[in-house]
Amino acid sequence: MIPAPFEYVRPTTVEEAVQAVAEGGEDVKIMAGGQSLIPVMRLRLAAPETIVDLGRVAEMRGVRDEGDALVIGAMTTHAEVITDPLIAQHAKLVAEATETVADRQTRRRGTFGGALAHADPAGDLPAVALALDAELVVAGPGGRRTVPASEFFVDYLTTALEEGEVLVEIRVPKLAGDWGVRYEKFNRVAQAWSIVAVAAAVRRENGHIAEARIGLTNMGPTPLRASATEAALSGAAAAPDAVASAARSAAEGTSPSSDLNAQADYREHLVQVLTRRAVTAAAGL
């Protein structure tokens, strides 16, 4: 299968990229690592007029320390994220979830920003960005703006990116205090898409859970926070019973789909089990 013909533009700066998108005609697609876009184009489910390839925009690649946050360039590949020492130190949940994305070869090409902008409900990184209160920096013809993760994911494969905008980098606040993290994922063997997954970050204090942040993958058209479970865990004893009890409300407010992999009610069951496991592990129990 071969994609339909398109015009190809390869900018080298963010400014050039924004300009190329503006000049790309009615149907322009931005390509990051291409690991979701090329398959979709091969199937002719997408046939854009113009492809703006961000592969040579060096300023969008890499991770830097900005004091209270890490800034991850949108074009940083999954393989780079997994081995980055700053991420290992300050955003371990990102690395842990990224290790479960697709396979070795795909992680060499696929990018952190591409996965967020694609916003596949079964993708692993949106729920992590949401759980960590990440902020997404986007550039457009009118300059740059910052969108919190809680407002970025709008619907199935739909984000707050406006026409003409490019996701440039992602600010991930460092977790201050005694945090433990865990990404708990349930998927079919040799098919790395999450049927359901749970991203948990837990801060312990004096034998109690002071704060829990829980992001859910594939429990609706967008990633979600397990707000009811987070509230139940706040101030709860760091004990298996308390965690198990809080995890029972993990499906509250979710709207999972039914598909070939799982029915909605099965996903509602899974999310409770995975939340219990993720929080238990993150709390060091």
Partner 1 sequence: MTRVSMQVDGVTYTDEVEPRTLLVHHLREALGKVGTVVGCDTSNCGACTVHLDGQAVKSCTVLAVQADGAEVTTIEGIAAPDGTLHPVQKAFHEMHGLQCGYCTPGMIMASIDLLKENPDPSDTEVREGIEGNLCRCTGYQNIVRAVQQAAGELSGSAATPETTGAQA
Which spans of this chain sit near partner 1 (rule: CB under 8 A)? 1-8, 10, 34-35, 38-39, 41-42, 51, 53, 55, 79, 102-106, 108-109, 190, 192
- Distance, CA of 23 to CA of 35 (rounded, Å): 24
Burial of 166 (0-12, 13-18, 19+ CB in 10 A): buried
- Nearest distance, CB of residue 239 and partner 1, angstroms: 32
Q: Which two tokens stand for residue 200?
A: 């948990």
Minimum distance from CB of 223 to partner 1 (Å)? 23
Considering beta carbons, is residue 44 or 64 the nearer one to partner 1?
Answer: 44
Pick the closer one to partner 1 by CB: 106 or 254: 106
- The answer to whether the beta carbons of residues 148 and 239 sit under 8 Å apart is no
Which phi and psi angles does 82 have, rounded to 5°?
-65, -35
Least distance CB 255 / partner 1 (angstroms):
29
HEC string for 67-112: CCEEEEECCCEHHHHHHCHHHHHHCHHHHHHHCCCCCHHHHHHCEH
Residue 41: CB minimum distance to partner 1, A = 8
- Calculate the dihedral angle through the C-alpha atoms of 71, 75, 79, 84, rounding to the nearest 10 degrees: -20
CB of 230 to partner 1, least distance (A): 31
Q: How many CA atoms lie within 13 A of 218 on its CB side?
A: 27
Q: CB under 8 Å to 258, separation ≥6 — which residues?
A: 264
Contact 174, 52 (CB under 8 A): no
Distance of closest approach, residue 82 Cβ to partner 1, in angstroms:
10
Amino acid sitting at position 278:
A
Residue 55 or residue 173: which is nearer to partner 1 going by CB?
55
Nearest distance from C-beta of residue 47 to partner 1, angstroms:
10
Cβ-based nearer residue to partner 1, 191 or 258: 191
Q: Which is nearer to partner 1, 3 or 148 (CB)?
A: 3
Q: How far is the CB of 13 from partner 1 (least distance, A)?
A: 17
Nearer to partner 1, 103 or 155 (CB): 103
Work out the number of other CB atoms within 10 angstroms of the CB of residue 62.
15
Of 40 and 239, the one with the shorter C-beta distance to partner 1 is 40
Nearer to partner 1, 96 or 135 (CB): 96
- Phi and psi torsions of 37, nearest 5°: -70, -45
On the 0-12 / 13-18 / 19+ scale of CB atoms within 10 A, 2 is exposed
Q: Residue 282 is inside which H or E element, if any?
A: helix 264-282
